[in-house]
Amino acid sequence: MNQLELFGLIFVIVFFGLMLALAILSRTRPVRQFREIPAFTRLRHTIGLAVEAGNRLHLSIGRGNLTGPQSAVTFVGLTVLDRIARSTMVSDRPPVVTSGEGAITILSQDSLRGAARAIGAEFDPLRGRLTGLTPFSYVAGALPVIYDEDVGANLFIGSFGSELALMNEAGERAGSLTLAGTDNLSGQAVLYATAEEPLIGEETYASGAYLGGGAMHIASIRAQDILRWVIISLILLGALLKLVGVL
Amino acid sequence: MKAPFYVAIAMAIGLIVLLGYFLHLDILVNLRVVLLEWAVILSAVALLVGTANLFYVHWRKFTSAQPNGFYSAVLIISFVITLGVVGWFGPTHAYSMWIFNNIQVPIEGSLMALLTVLLAFAGVRLFRRKPNLMSILFIGTAILILFATGPLFGINLPGLSELRAWIAQVPAVAGARGILLGVALGTIATGLRVLMGADRPYGG
């Protein structure tokens, strides 16, 4: 094991320990409120409205490979699906999920099936759809869902590139709310300009905690905050030592 | 009893792959390689299932006379022809490559061109939606970089290319690194939650 790998392993163990400790502490101490992210406030409101008005929610989970680094943001998309499916499955129009990767399509169908089973609702496997396998064919396949299926809100949470702008534009033209988050840097720049409610940086990964996740979700957000300050301090210390000529 | 069983399998496999990455013990490394190979094979099978799903969604849309069912018919016909040509002649045959070069590439290129127009339009609309300092900074920087990268009428304003280089190398890189730091921490947190069974994107 080289130095870099050893540092990586220590970092993961510390992160894991912090998450566990904060989750245990949250049982005895009252948890402080998170800062408000307008996108999630509007989303909770829209979910309620969609159920009442009989509009459909459209969740798109992108085309991240589950065996690659994009898998984490894909799992976030699936967690969001799990949360919204349980609260909207009782609606006349259950949510529809689109993706650009076969494994994500199967997992999204599995989440929808689990939510339907939990509340005793009927499950339609075609609510989880693969719309295309290349970035633009995926977007072209998702556009008819946004235009033709009475969608009240679009949630694009997953691995997307700049092609996401076409879906945001379609959502805006259809008059539905668009909330979007991606792990891709150029995708984030594009969604800042085009999405009604963009999620930038780590905000996407906080989705689970903001949509009523458990103690572990909240603990992981707190652990991220603590470690971010540690990293910032180390960067500043490094810059200072470089400035005075020690490094 | 099914759910705890799925969770136990997922956690054990996740832990083996993670430890196999950091600890170079033969048994862990070999197990990690085998498990990742299985994952790649399963992904390929999932791709086939997904393609069948794509076909069936459009078949149902076409046969149940839903709005814009005509486009679903176009997709089904294209799907069958492409599958037939590539399946019969092979993916690198001239006929298969003709379909790719003369249909797939131009269509995706057109969408890319549409995207550039749409982004310019979105930039203007950003002022209307969020009329604040950040929007002015965002659009101002984008225009500055555009002018410095491709000078209008070939006119090079003095100092513009230096300013562009400074923006690209200092504030843009600093901002990108800040965002990437957040993304990396979020990625580790999500991975650990899946590993601990707090997030279960599997097993219903």
Region of residue A158 (left: phi > 0; alpha: psi -120 to 50; beta: else) = left
pLDDT beyond 80 at A130: yes
Q: Which of B24, B82, B108, B188 has the highest number of chain A CBs within 10 A, making it the mutation to test binding with A? A: B188
The CA distance from A105 to the nearest CA of chain B, in Å, is 6
Contact between A87 and A50 under an 8 Å Cβ cutoff? The reply is no
Break chain B into its structural domains and give their ranges. Answer: 1-66, 130-196
**pLDDT for the residue A64:** 87
Share of chain A above pLDDT 90, in %: 46
pTM confidence score: 0.90
Contacts of B202 in chain A (CB under 8 A): 107, 110
Strand partners, A198: A180
Map tokens 């680094």 to a residue.
A69
- Please indicate whether, in this complex, the C-beta atoms of B50 and A140 are within 8 angstroms of each other: no
Adjacent-strand bridge partners of A97: A59, A128
Q: Which of A162, A152, A108 is nearest to A130 (CA)?
A: A108
Q: Are A180 and A146 in contact (CB under 8 A)?
A: no
| Nearest Cβ partner for B196 among A101, A194, A216 | A216
**What is the predicted pLDDT for the residue at B186?**
93
The answer to whether A19 contacts B18, with C-beta atoms less than 8 Å apart, is no
Return the SS3 of A182. Answer: strand
Residue A46 has pLDDT above 90, yes or no: no
CB A217: neighbour CB atoms within 10 A?
24
Alpha-carbon separation of residue B19 from A4, A13, B13, B14, B62 (angstroms): 15, 11, 10, 9, 49
* Average model confidence (pLDDT) across chain A: 88
Question: In this structure, are residues A130 and A153 in contact, taking their beta carbons and an 8 Å threshold?
Answer: no
Task: Say what the pLDDT of residue A247 is.
Answer: 76
Per-10-residue mean pLDDT of chain B, 204 residues long, equals 76 90 88 92 93 94 85 93 94 94 93 90 85 89 85 76 89 91 92 87 66
**What pLDDT was estimated at residue B2?**
59
DSSP for A102-130 reads HHHHHHHHHHHHHHHHHHT----GGGEEE
DSSP state of B134: H
Query: How does pLDDT run across A66-80, given as a tens digit for each residue?
Result: 888 888 999 999 989
Domains observed in chain A: 34-220 (3.40.50)
- Convert the pLDDT of each residue in A169-208 to its tens digit: 999 899 888 899 999 998 999 988 888 888 988 889 988 8
Mean pLDDT of A85-107: 87
Considering CB atoms only, which of B39, B45, B196 is closest to A67? Answer: B39
**Residues of B with Cβ-Cβ distance to A169 under 8 angstroms:** 118, 122
Given an 8 Å threshold on Cβ–Cβ distance, is A111 in contact with B201? yes
More confident residue, A24 or A55: A24
Which residues of chain B does A234 touch, with a Cβ-Cβ cutoff of 8 Å?
none
Q: Over range A10-31, report the average pLDDT.
A: 88
Chain A residues with CB under 8 Å of B204 CB are: 110-111, 113-114, 117
Task: Tell me how far apart the alpha carbons of residues A126 and B66 are, in angstroms, rounded to a whole number.
Answer: 14
Look at residue B202 in the predicted model and tell me its pLDDT: 73
For A103, name the nearest residue in chain B, comparing CA atoms only.
B46
